[in-house]
Chains A and B, each alone.
Chain A
Amino acid sequence: MAASLTGLLKPWTPRVLLVRWSRYNPYYLEPEPRKEVYHIPETELTPEQKEERELKSVRPIKAATNSVTSSVFNDPVLSKFVNMMMKDGDKIIAKGIITQTLENMKRKQVEKYHKAPEGKKAETECNPYAIFHQALENCKPVIGLASIQKGGKFYQVPIPLTDDRRRFLAMKWMITECRDNKHRRTLMYEKLSQELLAAFSKEGNVVKRKHELHKMAESNRAYAHYRWW
């Protein structure tokens, strides 16, 4: 859409324009980056998939973002974490920090694995992706607090959280903990790997913060009926 406009623009307008707008006409369909979908032969398609394919041949499709890949190593949760770490749109630095973190975690665990006696070898988890996901799970709060006004005063009311909100809180706490509460001279990947490994074994400050939130919610259960949704 935007590509056809470049011929009509004035010389002072920049020639490189954003192609993926954040507001597309709802007529546009989402792109499909996964390779397996295109490898299904004609005969094995269900009627819904056939309908979808026919729709895609007539409707326009949104441009894919830069972070979406057809690579087998693509991880949506990790991409979200990278985006949250990013400052001033510098994804290269954020992605570099995350890859260094994963490498650091793997190095520590593999070293422990090779030095462990035979019986303990199976217990050490060496996969940095598994550690990351498990650590994030351990940091997700189950219940949150909302500030609700009743009779001129504000009360902290325990409310249920959606999955997205829980994931967001876990990642946010992890990043702020590493940025604020660690020694000034340690590098971010070192801080992150220490904190993630601690969260994996349910220790560390982030898990403590989650427990404190749970305790606050438990202590405020009397106000639970202030919630009307």
Chain B
Amino acid sequence: MLFNRSLPAPARPSSITTLDGSDSEYVDNYKYLGVWLDCKLSFQTHIKHLQSKIKSRISFLFCNKASFTYAAKHTLVKLTPSITVPSVLSPKPHILPTTACQSEQHLGQYYTVPPSHFHTVFPHGLPPRYQQQVKTFNEGCVMVRQPALELISHLKRADYSKPTLRYLLYGVKGSGKTMSLCHTVHYCSTQGWLVLHIPDAHLWVKNCKELLPSSYHASRFDQPIQASNWLRNFRTTNEHFLSKIKLRQRYVWTKRESTEEGRPLGELVDMGVSRVKSSSDVVGAVLKELRLQAGGTEGGFRLAVAVDGVNGLWGRTTLKKEDKSPVAPEELTLVHNLRKMINNDWCGGAVIATLSQTGSLYAPSSAYLPQELLGEEGFDSMDPFVPVPVSLYSEKEFESCYLYYLDRHWLQHPHSQTEEGKKELIFLSNRNPSVLERLCAFL
């Protein structure tokens, strides 16, 4: 080894022979008495070796970084200043590339939905408390969880020339079914699918002020207000598809009005929004057209039917006819057409549904399984389906949520930022996402 402190490195001699004739080896770095020496007599090589040793010893801590408290991570990073591991300290949500690139390694982390997407993709469909949270935090972040990732992987690998697959999200109250559905809807939207999002099927079977007898079918009932609201939101979600899809059939509304074959779908939807009286029939026509054209090879698009609270379509309604007799769900045009949509006799898309006890009618509050909430008729119609269970937060997910609230300055009580407070939160909420959210709201 040749030591030299001047800038240019000394030229390497071809060979060095010792006095007794044997060749000695030329090295650039040598470890002597516990210190690594190099040609420039700087400590760089020594530091590099120390770094690699430290990294190998504490790498497991970085791998499990999500399970540490903020304080522990802070200490970790302070101790190892030279090791650059991005985003260990920042519980700030990562802007994960896109929904398409999310995978198992992103489980428990938050991804930000771009603000422009909120008005187009989600005019309806997000839970009301989540909408409030988006307004307060000035950003919308969704946690990547196992059920949503499972659904997305199924959607990626399904064969769309075969009849549609039905996916059913089920779980206890507050476990995150609607949020998983919204995550999947966002994925479908970014992939360019046509999304038919029904925010809550229970809204169509209760609290209807105007129930008109249907003009198309004598024994059915129309719901003009609900249908026109839904059509308006559908128009906001799928603006770009409305001019591309052409009707394949002539629809006659009254003696003087009709929509011809070959007109764009947008015209039909606009007519439904403006003429409130025939909006339920317009909804039926729109669903029929989309069903026929979804799997088409020329200009074909994939259709995602996302229904929240699908158990409302089978069961009982609280609506009454004029003679005070109860209305069955199949006597409502909207429900009748939606049931045809959920059947698997069309191809080129997927049906993603969620069970919900919260808005349901005449269902016990402890019921959450498909068999209990759908009833016999509903289960037979939905069968066969792919069940996707949604569980409560795991430890890692709870940590992630807790750190997110800390980062957004949501947990303000001084005790809630300590270990004791965190243990109490776990105890009080039992890791239920919605209960935790309500607890942290006033803490």
Residue B208 CB within 8 A of the other chain: no
Interface 1/0 per residue, A124-156 and B, CB below 8 Å: 001111100000000000000000000000000
- Report the bound CA distance from A135 to B410 in whole Å: 20
Least Cβ distance of A131 to chain B in Å? 9
CB-based contact A106/B418 at 8 Å:
no
- Report the bound CA distance from A100 to B137 in whole Å: 18
Least Cβ distance of B165 to chain A in Å? 41
CB-based contact B135/A111 at 8 Å:
yes
**Among B409, B424, B442, contact of A113 (Cβ-Cβ < 8 Å):** B409
The A-contacting residues of B in range 410-443, CB under 8 angstroms, are: 410, 412-416, 418, 420-421, 424, 441-443
Check A73/B413 contact, CB under 8 A, given A99-B442, A111-B138, A115-B138.
Answer: yes
Interface 1/0 per residue, B103-120 and A, CB below 8 Å: 000000000000000000
25 A-B contacts (beta carbon < 8 Å): A73-B413, A73-B415, A73-B421, A73-B424, A99-B441, A99-B442, A100-B442, A103-B442, A106-B410, A106-B441, A107-B132, A110-B136, A110-B137, A110-B408, A110-B410, A111-B135, A111-B136, A113-B409, A114-B137, A114-B138, A114-B409, A127-B414, A128-B442, A129-B412, A130-B412
**Among A103, A115, A126, contact of B409 (Cβ-Cβ < 8 Å):** A126
- Report the bound CA distance from A130 to B138 in whole Å: 23
Residue A71 CB within 8 A of the other chain: yes
- Report the bound CA distance from A162 to B441 in whole Å: 35
User: Which 7 residue pairs of A and B lie closest in terms of their CB atoms, listed nearest first?
Assistant: A127-B412, A72-B415, A99-B442, A102-B442, A114-B138, A103-B441, A103-B442
- Report the bound CA distance from A106 to B136 in whole Å: 9
**Among B136, B137, B408, B413, contact of A127 (Cβ-Cβ < 8 Å):** B413
How many residues of A sit at the interface, in one of the four size bands?
10 to 19
CB-based contact A72/B421 at 8 Å:
yes
- Report the bound CA distance from A75 to B260 in whole Å: 69
Residue on B nearest A102 in the bound complex, by CB: B442
CB-based contact A110/B409 at 8 Å:
yes
Q: Which residues of B contact A102 (CB under 8 A)?
A: 442
How many residues of B sit at the interface, in one of the four size bands?
20 to 34
Q: A110-B410, A129-B413 provided; 4 other pairs, C-beta below 8 A?
A: A102-B442, A103-B441, A107-B132, A126-B412
Least Cβ distance of A99 to chain B in Å? 4
Number of A-B contacts (CB under 8 A): 49
- Report the bound CA distance from A107 to B443 in whole Å: 11
Q: Which residues of B contact A126 (CB under 8 A)?
A: 409, 412
- Report the bound CA distance from A110 to B135 in whole Å: 10
**Among B138, B418, B424, contact of A71 (Cβ-Cβ < 8 Å):** B424
Chain A contact residues: over half helix, strand or loop, or mixed?
A: helix
Least Cβ distance of A76 to chain B in Å? 14
CB-based contact A73/B443 at 8 Å:
yes
Best-buried of B136, B415, B418, B421 by chain A (most CB within 10 Å)? B136
- Report the bound CA distance from A130 to B136 in whole Å: 19
CB-based contact A107/B412 at 8 Å:
no
CB-based contact B420/A72 at 8 Å:
yes
Q: Which residues of A contact B137 (CB under 8 A)?
A: 110, 114
Least Cβ distance of B412 to chain A in Å? 4
Q: Which residues of A contact B413 (CB under 8 A)?
A: 73, 127, 129
- Report the bound CA distance from A172 to B378 in whole Å: 56
Q: Which residues of B contact A130 (CB under 8 A)?
A: 412
Q: Which residues of A contact B409 (CB under 8 A)?
A: 110, 113-114, 126
- Report the bound CA distance from A17 to B442 in whole Å: 34
- Report the bound CA distance from A111 to B408 in whole Å: 10
- Report the bound CA distance from A106 to B440 in whole Å: 11
Residue on B nearest A74 in the bound complex, by CB: B415
- Report the bound CA distance from A100 to B136 in whole Å: 15
The B-contacting residues of A in range 56-108, CB under 8 angstroms, are: 71-73, 99-100, 102-103, 106-107
Residue on A nearest B137 in the bound complex, by CB: A114
Q: Which residues of A contact B136 (CB under 8 A)?
A: 107, 110-111, 114
- Report the bound CA distance from A187 to B121 in whole Å: 32
- Report the bound CA distance from A107 to B409 in whole Å: 10
CB-based contact A106/B442 at 8 Å:
yes
CB-based contact B416/A73 at 8 Å:
yes
Q: Which residues of A contact B421 (CB under 8 A)?
A: 72-73
- Report the bound CA distance from A189 to B116 in whole Å: 32
Best-buried of B412, B421, B443 by chain A (most CB within 10 Å)? B412
Least Cβ distance of B376 to chain A in Å? 38
Interface 1/0 per residue, B138-163 and A, CB below 8 Å: 10000000000000000000000000
Least Cβ distance of B133 to chain A in Å? 9
Residue on A nearest B415 in the bound complex, by CB: A72
- Report the bound CA distance from A72 to B418 in whole Å: 10
